[in-house]
Structure 1
């Protein structure tokens, strides 16, 4: 189920990763402002994360980011099955 009809969508914005350099990830929001993505301790020390985020940046993909805390969302714009039945 897409989040389009869900209240949680108000806390998600689209962003494009524009700069990746350890320990920073900079993104441009859908509104044009630059934001520093806040990374977890696990993300900071995970080489696979850094390779993946560089690939996302090179491909100029849009990713979901929390509006309040500027963190990457791991479930994209989708609800998992448990949340889907909860909101149905």
Structure 2
């Protein structure tokens, strides 16, 4: 299977209970369940709401229906050096 095209940019277009709805550049709708470790993380949904308002594009695995984990998402604020 070619995994190169599975990672696509997408925008958050809606937030449902325990789900994030995203749309790709080709208007494909991808529904992502909130990751198990983030279900009780109040900052996760606040971050998703900020992404919804801002329209920023984020990486999503279209086959696995998962948000990609990168430092911008997983690194706590305390770990950044200014």
Q: Normalised by the shorter chain, which TM-score bucket? A: 0.7 to 0.9
Q: Which has the higher helix share?
A: 1
The structure with the larger Rg is 1
Q: TM-score under structure 1 normalisation?
A: 0.69
**Which residue, 8, 13, 32 being the options, matches 2:8?**
13
**Which residue, 19, 31, 34 being the options, matches 1:39?**
34
Residue 18 of structure 2 contacts residue 33 of structure 2 at CA under 8 Å; is this kept in 1?
no
Partner-residue secondary structure (3-state), 1:54: helix
Note the residue ranges of structure 1 that are not aligned, 5 or more in a row: 1-6, 77-88
Q: TM-score under structure 2 normalisation?
A: 0.73
Q: Deviations over 1:35-75 (max 9, x none)?
A: 10132111222111010110011001100001211111112
CA RMSD of superposed structures (Å): 1.9
Task: Tell me, in whole angstroms, the C-alpha distance in 1 between the residues paired with 2:25 and 2:33.
Answer: 17
Q: Which has the higher strand share?
A: 2
Look up the match of 2:62.
Answer: 67
